[in-house]
Amino acid sequence: MEPPPTPADQIKVIVDKFLKKQTEDSINKNEVRDLLKNALDSGQAFMELIVETEKIPNQLLVKKCLEVFGETDVVLSREIQSEAFGLINKKKKAKKEQPNQKPSYQKRKLADSFKYFVRAFKFDDMTVSLEDHVKTFISEGDYVSAATVLAYGPARLLSTYDHEALLNELIIPLFTIENTTTANCKELLFDLLKHFKAEKRFLDYLNGLLIKSKAEQEAVVYESKEFCEAKPAFEVLKTFMADLIKKTPYEKEEFENLRRATILGELVDKFVIQTEKDFEDSWRVAMASKHGGTWLQADFINKLLRKAQATEAEKSSSFIQAASKYASWNEFYKTLDVTVEPYCQLEVANWEKCSVFEPLQENPMHYHLDGFEVHFCKTDTAEEIDSITEIITNLPGSKKQPYLIHLDCEFQALCVSNCRAKVALLQFSIPKNVYLVDCHSMDNSALFPAWKGFFEAFFKNKKTRIFGLGLCNDMTNLKGSFPELKTMKKTKIIYCETLIACLANGAKDATLNKLKEGLKDRKDKKKIGLKTVHGILFPDSEELDKDQQRTAFDQRPLRKEQLDYAATDVYVLHEIFNKLKELYVAEHKDNGEIKFEECLKKSEKTDGSILLS
């Protein structure tokens, strides 16, 4: 005797029959009734049926299933009701509609399914209006159900709620009490904020929380034990704000306290992992920025002293010494009451010994490094920028035989700029020469025409090719620093990663295959780095030093070690390109040059708008 069909089998039969007929009589009501009757958990079985029908997707099948379910005596828990409601009515991204066009089929389907949902589920009593149901949910502390109905329900509900009251009575409690670290609850809150156009008001509220005292933060955020254990309140606020901002047209710069919290957090992290000299660079940049000042000094010293209290005795002295040093900078200590916590830990006797950081030497404009010339290019005036543009335009080359330029960038170490991931230094190399272009003046509107001319010469020049490793990231950040790049086309850019894959395709050379395997191993992880590629191609050479990679390239002047690092990184690209060509030509012998050129053409991107999107 065959075992009775499982709910999953029954659901499959229902869905398959519908797909074959696609008509209203294709839903066998008895089959749906049998499914609900035989399942151990009829509510869960119904949810599984809805999930499968939504996968098709076809609202007719959903509507018919709801009709059948509404005729049964099965009572669903409110949790299952709100889950089904959200699943059925959740608004999906639709294509942009033309002006004066009728409401899309997608929106009409949503309205229909809501009507049948109301019939089938009834919440507790459908003689009561939805508005009253939402109020009941809120009064009972069922914020998820209330938010689900408002976020995914009919648009008419929008006009029945005062937005300020909604923020205080639902949105804030939903954030503070429910575990918004889970994906579902966070998505629900994001959708609710978008639906009511309340993102800015809520971000302002969170921004205010960031400067509240620790006790106030705990009173607001630590309502839920699970929420409390997920992350410290301060980190939860920062993370949630950052995630929400990504889904809005707003920028982090609009929320001063978030900017301050980010800078302070990064400073503390850098203090722990960087050398003293590298950290002093980061400290200079942070203090000199428009977000720096007395508050940053005070909060940073407090953080160090708290770490001294929380860590082991033998390690705490280093935090105290550092706090004393940075308290002495700009004679900040004169404003402190050293008799109270936490400042009583400061080593007052050592303050006279602590001086302001030694000033950095001016950057050399030209010097020799390992067999090539390094040129530091100032960009304080249009004439200085134009002189760099002239170097690019005068390079030899033609449309048929473009000249190769190697490109790399360094970025700001701290979040102190007005745009995301701003470029601090652009370096390019040609044989025997490296040019380090100072990008600090890109924000100067008076210099915009000169910078535009430079980038047009660099990226639209038909007589040149650009080669680099990890250029996707560099180009994206260049676009963020100089948005005009979005519209520049006909850019010939060769990705080192793409070229390696092309050269190694069918190759017998062990080195090329090792590089190809390196790309495969890191396909879903961090991209293969310059240090790795150089190490494979030049196993007998000294390993590349990457210690300066995360240092403050936005400070001026730069340290000599930073200049050497930036120059070496871009000049190594020259050596890598030549070595790849040498290995490939050696394997293909007589026609190696021709085949290598074919690989270059296959690897280059010729549309800058695609590259920068």
471-491 confidence digits (pLDDT tens): 888 888 888 788 777 666 656
> Cβ neighbours of residue 168 under 8 Å, at least 6 residues apart?
none
Residues in the chain: 613
Q: Give the per-residue pLDDT at 84.
A: 62
Q: Give the per-residue pLDDT at 572.
A: 95
Which portions of the chain are predicted below pLDDT 70? 1-4, 17-29, 32-33, 36-44, 46-47, 50-51, 53-129, 153-156, 178-184, 211-234, 313-314, 329-331, 348-358, 413-421, 486-491, 520-527, 605-613
Angle of the 510-521 helix axis to the 530-537 helix axis, nearest 10: 160
**Which CATH fold topology does 366-605 show?**
Nucleotidyltransferase; domain 5 (3.30.420)
Q: Give the per-residue pLDDT at 575.
A: 93
CA distances from 378 to 331, 362, 479 (A): 33, 12, 21
CB half-sphere exposure, 582, CA atoms < 13 A = 9
Amino acid at residue number 581 = K
Q: Give the per-residue pLDDT at 96.
A: 36
Q: Give the per-residue pLDDT at 472.
A: 83
Q: Give the per-residue pLDDT at 525.
A: 45
- The domain spans of the chain are 7-96, 105-250, 258-353, 366-605
Q: Which residue's entry shows tokens 């936490």?
A: 342
User: Following DSSP, what letter does each residue of 177-217 receive, concatenated?
Assistant: HS-TTSHHHHHHHHHHHHHTT-HHHHHHHHHHHTTS-HHHH
